[in-house]
Structure 1
Amino acid sequence: MTSNLINTLLVLSVLLVITINLSYFCTKETAHYSVVKDSRFSIENLTRSITITTASHTTPSSLIPPFIPFRSTFVTSPKYSLAACRIQKNLSTILLNLFCYLNTPRKFSRKASSLTIEFKNYLSQETCNATHATHIATNTTFSTKLAIIRDPVERFLSGFVDKCIHEAEHKDSRCYGCHKNMICVLKEQYIRFQLIAEAKLSSFSYEDRHFAPMSWFCDFDHETIKNYKFLYFGETEEQQGGTINELMDVLDDHGVDNSTISHILEELSANRTKHSTSGSAIRMKVGQEMRKNAEAMRLLYLIYENDYKVFNLKSPFAQT
């Protein structure tokens, strides 16, 4: 069989798969896929890059790549020369509250009762001092730039229980209407992350923001990632206590007074955010089922394996 014939058969196979996928997307509720009618979803545009790839005899990795530009938000405290990147499901609510308290302690204390609750209905982002500042990764104003990371699969599991089970009880459309079906959610996310990585999907969903690889946040790339101080958030109480203590050390190094640190430490040690699922019975049950499901682990591997490599974390996946 000649090389040209092989290439032709490969292209025809890819076209068939794309046609099936397009039919799949168009049958979903349009509210979930706001860009389905975009010209970028035409057969011509979707197949152009694949045809070029086939012609050059290269096969792209099936792993979701790291360092894709994504939605990044930061909290800053110019007074203490301190900034932090907020990654969803990695203490993002606590970081928002903490920096608001550092910047406006009196206003915060009057309007919000706890550092572990969401207070956005009480205090504006402007009051809290540029909580959505951008380009912090290369900003030399801040001597320390924090980012909190955790095991990627545990982060997904936490998000799945919080968003696809708890929140889905009141919002049928949450998690693409998959009705607590993890495989359904993972398949949806894998397809969407492929499209985002290829710059073919510009509208990010609520679920995208909570399940996207950590290496997509914070304006990370091969160079800017070196500018961050990382705190690892584990799954046990002991590990989480250690992270809180490390965070207090950072505040102390930046000149935050002892009474403020003591108050923050007391708040974070005594309370949990409403989004926390760590240690819950349902989290343990869903986690056990997930690890026994070969298809779930395969999809998790495809989505998050590069996060394990980027952040030098021990991967739970067998070599495939």
Structure 2
Amino acid sequence: MTTILINTLLLLAIILMLSINLSYFCGKEPSHYAAIDDERFSIANITKGITTISNRKLSPFIPPFIPFRSTFVASPKYSLAACRIQKNLSTILLHLFCYLNTPRKFSKKASSLTTEFKNHLSTETCNTTHATHIATNTTFTTKLAIIRDPVERFLSGFVDKCIHEAKNKDSRCYGCDRDLVCVLKEQYTRFQMIVDGSLRSYSYEDRHFAPMSWFCDFDPETIKNYQFLYFGETEEQQGQTISDLMDVLDTHGVDNHTISHIFDELSANRTKHSTSGSEIRRKMGAELRKSKEAMRYLYHLYENDYRVFNLKSPFIYHKV
């Protein structure tokens, strides 16, 4: 029997099998196999999704745009909303919007926009401060998000949570006792599990160290709906952030007296969570940058944040 004949018979057999299978499915109740009329489930998007998942498993980098715990504040009166990213002035934003919505009630509860006060999450005090899923909400003309250098954000969180708070809470930062690599290794493992869907309960530390691109319901499309303010580490940069924020308030019709009060408060005071410029922050920053292992973990954790927010990555100039 020639090779051509064998190939012909094999082809006929395959065609026969396909015909049998197709006739089986076509004979079934059509409603059970109806096509889903949703672009999300198109062949192109399903293929793209499978490719993305495959790449995540192969890549050592923590991917962006993973749905995570997001909190928002809003002022319908001024058609203004903001997403709160932990360690990016999130406490300031909460107090600021509470003050915009209910200045008299706020003043009774707190003496300052930058001072912690009890029951600041209460509906009675903050009224309509809280909102959900603002990324696609057309009610608000401007949707704000504050971003900062990812490594500096990690350092700020580490000093605040793993050193200051850990003095009174031994279990804070997984009991790593000021060990940078220990915390980074634990977070890297936990974030991999969150990406894989095997970890659905988020720790206090997860919320403060998660990539910025995981917050705010960000995805490649919704991120375009936000106006970003950059929070730097120097006094000059932070002063510029405050000025930019005042410009936003002015654009949205906030009166000059209120803006002046907010500006004075933010310029003169810091929240108790602030670590910028402290000696321990400089010491931990120097220790971090000397450790190749720590820098390698940071690279894998946050390089995608540098890319998503178009920030200058320090890893280009640092061997990791």
User: Could you tell me how far apart the structure 2 residues matched to 1:57 and 1:177 are?
Assistant: 32
Q: Secondary structure at the match of 2:139?
A: coil
For 2:181 and 2:214, locate their aligned partners in 1 and report how far apart those are by CA, in whole Å: 22
In structure 2, the partner of 1:148 is: 146
Tell whether the 8 Å contact from 1:77 to 1:129 is kept in structure 2 after alignment.
no
Alignment CA distance shift 1:71-1:123 (3 Å): closer
| Residues 1:293 and 1:122: Cα distance change in structure 2 (over 3 Å) | closer
Can you list the C-alpha shifts for 1:215-249, whole angstroms capped at 9, x where unaligned? Answer: 00000000000000000000000000000000000
1:197 match? 195
Tell me what 1:109 maps to: 107
Aligned length: 267
8 Å contact from structure 1 (residues 76, 129) kept in 2 = no
SS in 1 for 2:314: coil
Is 1:225 aligned with 2:227?
no
User: What CA distance in whole angstroms lies between the structure 1 residues aligned with 2:80 and 2:57?
Assistant: 43
Residues 93, 117 of structure 1: 8 Å contact kept: no
The aligned counterpart of 2:117 is 119
**Aligned-pair distance for 1:110?**
1.5
Partner of 1:251: 249
Once residues 59 and 123 of structure 1 are traced to their aligned partners in structure 2, the CA distance between those partners, rounded to angstroms, is: 39
Say if 2:252 is the partner of 1:261: no
- Which residue does 1:100 correspond to in 2? 98
> Which residue of structure 2 aligns with residue 29 of structure 1?
none
Paired with 2:56 and 2:268, the residues of 1 have a C-alpha distance of 54
Give, in angstroms, the shift of residue 256 of structure 1. Answer: 0.1
Provide the C-alpha distance between the structure 2 equivalents of 1:57 and 1:91, rounded to a whole number of angstroms.
33
Inter-partner Cα distance in structure 1 for 2:72 and 2:236: 27
Q: 1:120 to 1:223 in 2, by over 3 A?
A: farther
- CA contact under 8 A between 2:173 and 2:183: conserved in structure 1? yes
Per the TM alignment, residue 120 of structure 1 is displaced from its structure 2 partner at its CA by 4.1
Find the counterpart in structure 2 of residue 164 from structure 1: 162
Q: Distance in 2 between matches of 1:104 and 1:120?
A: 16
Aligned residue type for 1:214:
M
Max radius of gyration: which structure? 2
RMSD: 1.8
Percentage of identical aligned residues: 81
Aligned partner letter, 1:144:
T
Counterpart position of 1:236: 234
Q: 1:117 deviation in Å?
A: 1.6
Cα distance in 1 for partners of 2:123, 2:314 equals 38
In the TM superposition, what is the alpha-carbon distance from 1:79 to its structure 2 partner?
0.0
Q: Structure 1 residues 251 and 181 mapped into 2: Cα distance closer, same or farther (>3 Å)?
A: same
Measure how far apart 1:111 and its partner are: 1.5
- Structure 2 unaligned spans of 5+: 1-49
1:296 and 1:60 map into 2 onto residues whose CA distance is: 21
In structure 1, the residue corresponding to 2:315 is in which secondary structure?
A: coil
Comparing 109-118 with 182-191, greater Cα deviation is found at 109-118
Please, what TM-score do these two structures have when normalized by structure 1?
0.81
> Hey, what's the Cα distance between the residues in 2 that align with 1:61 and 1:295?
18
Quick one: distance in 1 between partners of 2:57 and 2:222?
28
Q: CA deviation at 1:121?
A: 2.5
Note closer, same or farther for the CA distance 1:122–1:141 as it changes in structure 2 (3 Å cut).
closer
Counterpart position of 1:276? 274
Residues 186-211 of structure 1 deviation map (CA, whole Å, 9 limit, x = unaligned): 00000000000111100000000000
